[in-house]
Chains A and B, each alone.
Chain A
Amino acid sequence: MSKNNDSNQFRKVDVDEYDENKFVDDEDNGESQVGPDEAEVDSLIRQGNLMEALQAVLKNPPINTKNQNVKDRAEALMLKVLSAFKSSDIEKAVQSLDKNGVDLLMKYIYKGFEKPSENSSATLLQWHEKALSAGGVGSIVRVLTARKTV
């Protein structure tokens, strides 16, 4: 009979947190992942060796780490490499990647879409088109279903 009409705080409680059957994903220790080597990638870009730079930036993806900074740095680095390419070279670069590389590239592309900056979307869309023809819709499905992503 007595209703507390003042407080609506109960609406902010996340009841799923208290569910004893709540699914907890396997913990994968990703604290040691540091992301791609910035110095190496920067020097390769300066040298103009863009294919190598792409391979280098796809190494050590910070997938399992909880450190948001590492992920942001990796994404910024990836964007730098992708923007450095000439449009005509993008297709060749995508062909040089293996299946896992294309999937990883797709993950970075969609991560880049989340925080658009000047001109980034245009570059990313060009890369997206080429990556799609290489990886098919399956690579996009894997971006959507991946629970731990870059």
Chain B
Amino acid sequence: MSLHQFLLEPITCHAWNRDRTQIAISPNNHEVHIYQKSGNQWVKSHELKEHNGHITGIDWAPKSDRIVTCGADRNAYVWSLKDGVWKPTLVILRINRAATFVKWSPLENKFAVGSGARLISVCYFESDNDWWVSKHIKKPIRSTVLSLDWHPNNVLLAAGSCDFKCRVFSAYIKEVEEKPGPTPWGSKMPFGAVLAEFGGAGGGGWVHSVSFSSSGNRLAWVSHDSTVTVVDGTKGSTPSQLKTEFLPLLSVLFISENSVVAAGHDCCPMLFRCDDGGSLTFVSKLDLPKASITRNISAMERFRNMDKRATTEDRNTALETLHQNSITQVSIYEGDQSDCRKFCTTGIDGAMTIWDFKQNVINDIHWNEMLTRGQHGPQLKTRLSQ
């Protein structure tokens, strides 16, 4: 894996372009910075300054090359590249609280914005007026919407919110699309209908992140009570919940139909497997700590370290994991949701790390111990179990 430290500010959110040569990040302020890959370095190429409040979500549409951003200023902008400059178009979301999350739909003709106003704004482009229009999904959401994910059929939308529930809504807009066919989640899908609702029931925590699998049949979410849950729409509606022994996870992603990667306050991505019966098991942490910390430091280095930190002891306060602070977002870097070969994490430490699976992570895998860390990060070796 390779880590790149952008700045010391937290990276609130990030989005990749189609060929992964550019990344748009927000360094915890009102701006979006776009970095271009040149060799092994990342060079800042654009600064998108239009929002008046912190950016809370960025999504980059791979085919149409448009960026949508949403922020705490209750606005969203759609950015298009014209003559090498990114030009914003305001989208009136009609919300009276901050926006929290934004995602393009798979066909990129609409996008959904979650907000603290206890509703989801589904926005589509009305070509007669040359204007983005928003429609609201309000009932029965009782608190801030934290995370959204689109089903591959471009109509269903999963939403995780602070009322401890994960729901599947229909975001069918008749102006831009045909009526969708039936799915395991339901067949009648008028706009705003709740097709499924999970969670709550006196327990549970805020649902930080939701993810559909590539077929759309499975839905996974992570919650603030340190649990990961997966439900299979084709196998009835009993979710399979795994209570982990880690700190709460903040972001979850399907990387194949059977495997889920999640990361959060433990600063380390973790792999979970969902078998055909629908039950969820923890496979392993994907960040193996340094096998040997005792390398011989020369006296000169020791004193230099003490000078640098003005300490009188030789104590190392760095975490053993690559990320030095919570990971807030996991995204696919190479491959797609049915077969992901590399994924990317960004976090509050301002670092972006790309993680590499050498082989498919579907069958049993044993990770070799890492011996040393090279300059570009070691490649994890895998071998299939006997």
Q: Chain A interface (Cβ within 8 Å of chain B)?
A: 21, 23, 25-26, 28, 63-64, 99-100, 103, 135-139, 141-142, 145-148
- List which B156-171 residues lie within 8 A (CB) of chain A: 163
Question: Are B247's CB and A26's CB within 8 A?
Answer: no
A137 CB contact (under 8 Å) in B202, B227, B245: B245
Question: Are A26's CB and B201's CB within 8 A?
Answer: yes
Question: Are B245's CB and A145's CB within 8 A?
Answer: no
A103-B243, A135-B245, A136-B245 in contact; A141/B201 too (CB < 8 A)? no
Question: Are A26's CB and B245's CB within 8 A?
Answer: no
Question: Are B202's CB and A145's CB within 8 A?
Answer: no
A26-B201, A28-B201 in contact; A137/B243 too (CB < 8 A)? no
With A23-B143, A145-B224 already in contact, 15 other A-B pairs whose C-beta atoms are closer than 8 Å: A23-B163, A25-B202, A26-B202, A100-B243, A135-B245, A136-B245, A137-B247, A138-B226, A139-B243, A141-B224, A141-B225, A141-B226, A141-B248, A145-B204, A145-B205
Question: Are B202's CB and A138's CB within 8 A?
Answer: no
Question: Are B143's CB and A142's CB within 8 A?
Answer: no
Question: With the chains together, A146 CA to B201 CA distance in Å?
Answer: 11
Question: Are A23's CB and B142's CB within 8 A?
Answer: yes
Question: Are B247's CB and A141's CB within 8 A?
Answer: yes
**14 A-B interface contacts by CB (under 8 A):** A25-B202, A26-B200, A26-B202, A28-B201, A100-B243, A136-B246, A141-B226, A141-B248, A142-B225, A142-B243, A145-B205, A147-B202, A148-B202, A148-B203
Question: Are A99's CB and B243's CB within 8 A?
Answer: yes
Q: Chain B interface (Cβ within 8 Å of chain A)?
A: 118, 142-143, 163, 200-205, 224-227, 243-248
**Closest Cβ of chain A: how far from B151's Cβ, in Å?**
26
Question: Are B245's CB and A139's CB within 8 A?
Answer: yes
Query: What residues on B are CB-neighbors of A21 within 8 Å?
Result: 118
Residue of A at shortest CB range from B226?
Answer: A138
Question: Are A142's CB and B202's CB within 8 A?
Answer: no
A23-B163, A26-B200 in contact; A145/B244 too (CB < 8 A)? no
Question: Are B243's CB and A138's CB within 8 A?
Answer: yes
Question: With the chains together, A141 CA to B243 CA distance in Å?
Answer: 10
Question: With the chains together, A142 CA to B142 CA distance in Å?
Answer: 22
Query: What residues on B are CB-neighbors of A99 within 8 Å?
Result: 243
Question: Are A138's CB and B143's CB within 8 A?
Answer: no
Question: Are B244's CB and A146's CB within 8 A?
Answer: no
Task: Count chain A CB atoms within 10 A of each CB in B202, B204, B244, B248 and give the residue with the most.
Answer: B202
A26-B200, A137-B247 in contact; A146/B225 too (CB < 8 A)? yes
Question: Are B224's CB and A64's CB within 8 A?
Answer: no
**Closest Cβ of chain A: how far from B313's Cβ, in Å?**
27
**Closest Cβ of chain A: how far from B162's Cβ, in Å?**
9
Task: Count chain A CB atoms within 10 A of each CB in B163, B200, B226 and give the residue with the most.
Answer: B226
Question: With the chains together, A147 CA to B247 CA distance in Å?
Answer: 18
A26-B202, A148-B202 in contact; A138/B244 too (CB < 8 A)? yes
Query: What residues on A are CB-neighbors of B143 within 8 Å?
Result: 23
Residue of A at shortest CB range from B142?
Answer: A23
**Closest Cβ of chain A: how far from B267's Cβ, in Å?**
13
Residue of A at shortest CB range from B247?
Answer: A137
Query: What residues on A are CB-neighbors of B243 within 8 Å?
Result: 99-100, 103, 138-139, 142
Residue of B at shortest CB range from A99?
Answer: B243
Query: What residues on B are CB-neighbors of A145 within 8 Å?
Result: 204-205, 224-225
**Closest Cβ of chain A: how far from B105's Cβ, in Å?**
29
Query: What residues on A are CB-neighbors of B118 within 8 Å?
Result: 21
Question: With the chains together, A137 CA to B243 CA distance in Å?
Answer: 11
Query: What residues on A are CB-neighbors of B142 within 8 Å?
Result: 23
Residue of A at shortest CB range from B266?
Answer: A137
Query: What residues on B are CB-neighbors of A63 within 8 Å?
Result: 202
Residue of A at shortest CB range from B201?
Answer: A26
Question: Are B226's CB and A64's CB within 8 A?
Answer: no
Query: What residues on B are CB-neighbors of A26 within 8 Å?
Result: 200-202
Question: Are A138's CB and B203's CB within 8 A?
Answer: no
